[in-house]
Amino acid sequence: MSSPRDLTAGKPLRLILGFGIPMLFGFLFQQFYNLADTAIVGRFLGSDALAAVGSTGSLNFLVIGFVMGVCSGFSIPISQMFGAGDHGQLKKYAAGSLWLCIAFAVVITAVTLSFCSPILRALSTPEDIFDRAYIYIFTIFAGIPAYFLYNMCAAVLRSLGDSRTPVSWLIFASVINIILDIIFIVVFKMDVFGAALATVTAQLISGLGCLYKVCRGFPILSMTKQDMKPSPKHIGHLLAMGIPMGLQYSITAIGAVILQTAVNHLGTMYVTAVTAGLRLSAFMCCPFDAMGSTMATYMGQNSGARKWDRLNMGLASCTLIGLIYSAVIYLVILLTADRLALIFLDSNSIELVPLVKQYLCNIAAFYFPLALVNIVRFSIQGMGFSPIATLAGVLEMLGRGTAAYFVGTLGFTAACFADPTAWIFADVFLIPAYFLCKKRLIKKMQI
């Protein structure tokens, strides 16, 4: 049995670090097995296979990002009810989340499997990598129920202050993923299908582990038949929280899809370079993901407990952490980008190293704006204003779309500045929106 973790008492900086560091390890290992996928594909299957996997990245994020966002949104009322000490309502929200995830998993899986090929055609996926790209993304989408299982169970655990269990299972699944990559790709010669199958299997294992903890580890989640009965009121509130957060990821991903289409027109060489750069950057950006998820739980619990003074204190503490990390990791990337690129490239692709280095160094210079996007957006969501935070995704889409427009004239350089443009666009909206949302929340609770 485990005890939920209370983030409403104690020094915010210490609590944020204590809660966020285990979560960081989870994100790192998740990206680690993504890196392992990419490295094994690039090394053993060649640059064309790497480009095929990379060409599906934005589409993958469009769908899986929606799954992650919806699950995070569903957990917000759970976090708020825990902070308020209302365990009866907490159980109703947890049960409603279960039913909604089952329904969403069935529908989204059916739709995405049906439209894989037309979407890849619409993205102008190069013909020489189209078949491999289709096999890879079709397999990933077939595993959408596994993604729902892990993300929902992990979100529930985090909302109760348990950031360690999702990490533990993710670490275990990462090891399994790498082993399966080697078995499927190197031993059984299953090509990119093997890479996708290994990823889905690892996701299922981590989901089942978290599900066991949810069912057996927290007495607070023990439910009766009445608790499990769907409640229209609670399901409606969950949808109001979850769908905007899911759309936020997807709207952001639309900009990435537009950019991916533009990069695809540049040719397979540039697709490969962007793929390698994105995978490396995603690993470096794991702390920002951990900061965001931590702030969603921190703000949710403290909002539920009506401890208004702790909101700004938490935001300031996390922003300081983000600033320090952004400066340090930028220096690391400047010194090591060319060597990092070689992780993914075989001996026939050495000419791509300067492109990967250019991409990495350009976006790393803007990591602090990315830190703010995650910290402030998830803080707004934790306070219960998911629809407002979604507008930041629209601005990110516009930022990437603007950069994609210039890829035709400025080429690869425009692609390198697409993400920084998106982050700055979002920050211009999010920072003042946070203070407005806090003011509205306090006014609403005092009525």
DSSP 379-417: HHHHTT-HHHHHHHHHHHHHHHHHHHHHHHHHTHHHHHT
For residue 237, count other CB atoms closer than 10 A to its CB. 19
pLDDT of residue 203: 92
pLDDT of residue 311: 93
pLDDT of residue 235: 95
231/87 Cα distance (integer angstroms): 16
| Residue for token pair 């607070």 | 220
Select from 429, 431, 441, 428 the least CA-distant residue to 385: 441
Backbone phi, psi, residue 383, to 5°: -80, -10
pLDDT of residue 327: 96
Residue 153 carries which side chain, given as an amino acid letter?
C
Select from 164, 145, 144 the least CA-distant residue to 154: 164
Dihedral sign for Cα 296, 302, 308, 311, please.
negative
316/354 Cα distance (integer angstroms): 37
pLDDT (tens digit, 0 to 9) for every residue of the chain, 447 residues total?
A: 555 678 888 899 999 998 888 878 777 776 776 667 777 888 788 878 888 887 887 788 889 989 998 998 899 899 889 888 888 999 999 999 999 999 999 999 999 999 999 999 988 888 999 999 999 999 999 999 999 999 999 999 988 888 889 888 988 888 898 899 999 999 999 999 999 999 999 999 999 999 999 988 888 888 888 999 999 999 999 998 898 888 877 776 777 777 777 888 788 788 878 877 887 888 888 899 889 989 988 998 898 888 999 999 999 999 999 999 999 999 999 998 888 877 766 666 777 888 888 888 999 999 999 999 999 999 998 898 878 877 888 888 888 888 888 887 888 888 888 889 989 999 999 999 999 999 999 888 775
What b/e readout covers 352-380, taking b as 16+ CB neighbours within 10 angstroms?
bbebbbbbbbbbbebbbbbbbbbbbbbbb
Q: Which structure tokens are listed for 159? A: 């909302």
Can you tell me whether residue 165 is helix, strand or coil?
A: helix
415/422 Cα distance (integer angstroms): 12
Backbone phi, psi, residue 433, to 5°: -65, -35
**Residues in Cβ contact with 158 at an 8 Å cutoff, skipping those fewer than 6 apart:** 23, 75, 166, 293, 297
E strand segments, 212-278: none
Helix 127-142 to helix 57-84 angle, to the nearest 10 degrees?
30
Q: Which structure tokens are listed for 240? A: 């109001």
Q: How far, in whole angstroms, is CA 212 from its chain's centroid?
A: 23
pLDDT of residue 293: 85
pLDDT of residue 367: 95
Select from 162, 390, 421 the least CA-distant residue to 293: 162
272/266 Cα distance (integer angstroms): 11
